Structure 1
Amino acid sequence: MSQEVRGVIAPGKGQPVRLDTVVVPDPGPGEALVKIQSCGVCHTDLHYREGGINDDFPFLLGHEAAGIVEAVGEGVEDLAAGDFVVLNWRAVCGKCRACLRGRPWYCFNTHNATQKMTLKDGTVLSPALGIGAFIEKTLVHSGQCTKVDPTADPKAVGLLGCGVMAGLGAAINTGGVTRGDTVAVFGCGGVGDAAIAGARLAGARTIIGVDVDDRKLAWARKLGATHTVNAKQTDPVEAIREATGGFGADVVIEAIGRPETYEQAFYARDLAGTVVLVGVPTPDMRLEMPLLDFFGRGGALKSSWYGDCLPSRDFPMLVDLYQQGRLDLDAFVSETTTLDDIEAAFEKMHAGEVLRSVVVL
C-alpha cells in the first residue's frame, strides 16, 4: 500500500522549490523503502532546479542521504528492515562491459527504482540522481543502499552519498595520492575540501589549497591543507611550484570546473604528474591550449566520476575511519536545517557561506 509523505519539489526551471505531498509506492522487486534521517544540500540539487541537468520537471530534490530501511521488495536478500544505510547513485549492474572487466566503479548501467513516486494528482516525479531524498521516505533500488556502522551520525556519513565521496575519491581513487606525494587542490568548497581531507588521509606530505575566498581557505587548513593560496592575490601556479621545490605538485585536483582554473592546474603539476578534473563544467565551456604541452609534460589527465567510488567498498571503510577519529566528516556539516528551508540553504551555498547545510528529518 502506498504512503503519502512530505517532499521538496522543483516544479519548473528557476522556480522556487515547494514542499508538497508525495505518493511513495511500497517496494517492488529489487526495491527498498528508506526513512530518511538526513540529507545534505548539494550544488547538484540547485543545478536540477535551474534546469542545468535536464528538463524532466518536476524534480524530487535531494540525494546526499542516510536513513533506515523500512521495507524491501521481492528478491532483496542483502538488505532488511532496520538496516542503517547511506544512499548512493551508483547501484552497479554487474553485467555491463565495465563491470565484466572488473571495473564496477565505472558501471555504465546503474540501477534505480522501477516504480515512480508521484504527486497526489498522479504527476510523475523525477528523483534527483535517481534518489530524491528531501523527503520523509523515498523509494530506491536496493543496490542504492549501502549498509554502514549503525552508531555513526547520519548527518555526517550521509554526505558520503555525493560531494564528500566525490572529493575523497578524486584524491584517493582517481588521483592515486599516496604517502609522500605533493598535492594541490583548486577550489576549496565541499568537494575540494574533501579532496584535501582525502590527500591527508592518504599521507600526502604537502597539500596546497587554492581559492579566492579566505573563509574557504580557512576551511581547507582545518581539513588538512599545509599551505593555502588566495588566487586573487598570488599567482597560484608560481605559489604551488614554490611550495614543491620548484617542480609543481605530483597530483593537482581541479574542483571548480572552469577552463581557466583547469589550465592553471595543468601547469601547476610536476612533469609526469596527474591532473584530476572533478569540478563539473557547463556544456558551453571550451579549453584551448597548445597540444605540444600535453605531449611534452607527460603524465595523466583524468576526470573523476563520483570519485570513481564503489559504494559497497568505500562507504563502510570511510565510515569506520570516521568512527575512529581519522576522517573528520563532522567538519563538513556547517549547519542543520529542515525541509521547509531548502531555498535559504541554496542561497547560503551559492554565496559560499557553508560547506554543507544538512536537512535533518
Structure 2
Amino acid sequence: MPDAGPGEAVVKVQACGVCHTDLHYREGGINDEFPFLLGHEAAGIVESVGEGVTEVAPGDFVILNWRAVCHECRACRRGRPWYCFNTHNAKQPMTLTDGTALTPALGIGAFAEKTLVAAGQCTKVDPSASPAAAGLLGCGVMAGIGAALNTGNVQRGDSVAVIGCGGVGAASVAGARLAGAAKIIAVDLDERKLEWARSLGATHTLHAGSVDVVEAIRELTDGNGADVVIEAVGRPETYQQAFYARDLAGTVVLVGVPTPR
C-alpha cells in the first residue's frame, strides 16, 4: 500500500458488500487486467490524505464511489455528474508483496484492510450509520435510485415497472417511490425479493414464473405499458420484456449487468 499521493486518500475499510460485479470481474467478464483486487461497495475511515486534498480529512467516515467526477466536462457543467466524461481513480497502484500491480475493481479494491482511492471517490456520511448499510450506497443503492431519478427521470404520477428486485432493483423501487410514481410494479422470481420490494414502495408485484410479465404489466397500466421500465437483471430475455412492457412513449433503463456467457 503506497502512501497517499497528490489527490489521493488511504481508507481503512470497515465493511464491504459482495456485488455480482465482483463475480463478473473474477470470471473475466469485464476485462482481463488480472490480478484484480475485488470489492467496491464499501465504507470506512479516512486514514491519510495526499497533497492538495481538501474534501476529506483523516478520521472522516466515508462511503466509496466508483469514480471521482471532474466537475469540468460538459456533463458536469450541465449538472449531470453521473455522466462525467473524465472520471478518475488513484494514480498509484496497490501491489502484491512481490511488486505485482493489482487492478482495483471499479477503481476501489476494498476486499482488504485498507485501500487507496482518489480523494474525490470518498463521500462523507453520518458517522453514526452502520458501515455495512452505508457501504451499499456506493454501488447498488446509487445505481438503482439513479436509474429511477436520473436516467429514467421518473415523474410524479408515472407508472414504473422494475424487472429484477435484487439490490439494484430494490433501490430502483425506492427511487420510483421517492419520485412520486403512482404505480410501481415489481417483477422477480423470488418471493422474498418481491416482499422486500413491497416494503420499499412497490404497489404491485408479479412473480415472473407465474405470469406473462409483459401482458401483466400492460394489464396493470390500462393496456398502455409502463411509463418507465427499469431492467435490473442483465439477461436478453428481460431486456426484451422491458422494451415490450413500456408505453410507446415510455423509457427503458437497462441497469442490469450482463451475465458473462
User: Which residue number corresponds to residue 11 of structure 2?
Assistant: 34
1:133 is the counterpart of 2:89: no
2:184 equivalent in structure 1: 207
TM-score normalised to structure 1 length: 0.69
Alignment of 1:1-361 (within 5 A): 24-281=1-258
Please tell me whether the aligned partners of residues 113 and 141 of structure 1 are also in contact (alpha carbons under 8 angstroms). yes
Which residue does 1:334 correspond to in 2? none
Q: State the shift of 1:283 in Å.
A: 7.5
- What SS does the corresponding residue of 1:35 show, helix, strand or coil? strand
Q: Is the 8 A contact 2:10 2:117 kept in 1?
A: yes
Provide the secondary structure at the position in 2 that maps to 1:115: coil
**Corresponding letter in the other structure for 2:116:** L
- Shift, 1:95, TM fit: 3.7
Tell me if the contact between 1:185 and 1:208 (Cα under 8 Å) persists in the aligned partners.
Answer: yes
Distance 2:175 2:145 in 1: 4
Contact 2:144 2:170 (8 Å CA) reproduced: yes
Write the distance in 2 (CA, Å) between the matches of 1:163 and 1:102: 22
Q: Tell which deviates more after alignment, 86-95 or 136-145.
A: 86-95
Q: For structure 2, which runs of at least 5 residues remain unmatched after alignment?
A: none
Residue 173 of structure 1, CA deviation: 1.1
Distance in structure 1 (CA, Å) of the matches to 2:203 and 2:232: 18
Distance 2:146 2:209 in 1: 28
TM-score by length of 2: 0.94
How many residues get paired?
261
Check the 8 A contact 1:27/1:72 in 2, yes or no: yes
Structure 1 residue runs without a partner (length 5+): 1-23, 285-361
Compared CA separation, residues 184 and 158, structure 1 to 2 (3 A): same
Distance 1:100 1:228 in 2: 39
**Are the equivalent residues in 2 in contact too, given 1:90–1:107 (CA < 8 A)?**
no
2:24 touches 2:260 (CA, 8 Å); kept in 1?
no
Q: CA deviation at 1:103?
A: 3.3
Q: Within 2, Cα distance between the matches of 1:214 and 1:282?
A: 22
d(CA) in 2 for partners of 1:54, 1:25:
24
Q: Is the 8 A contact 2:67 2:107 kept in 1?
A: no
Contact 1:181 1:251 survives alignment (8 Å): yes
* Contact 1:33 1:70 (C-alpha < 8 Å) held by counterparts: yes
- Match of 1:118, SS state, is coil
Shift of 1:76: 0.7
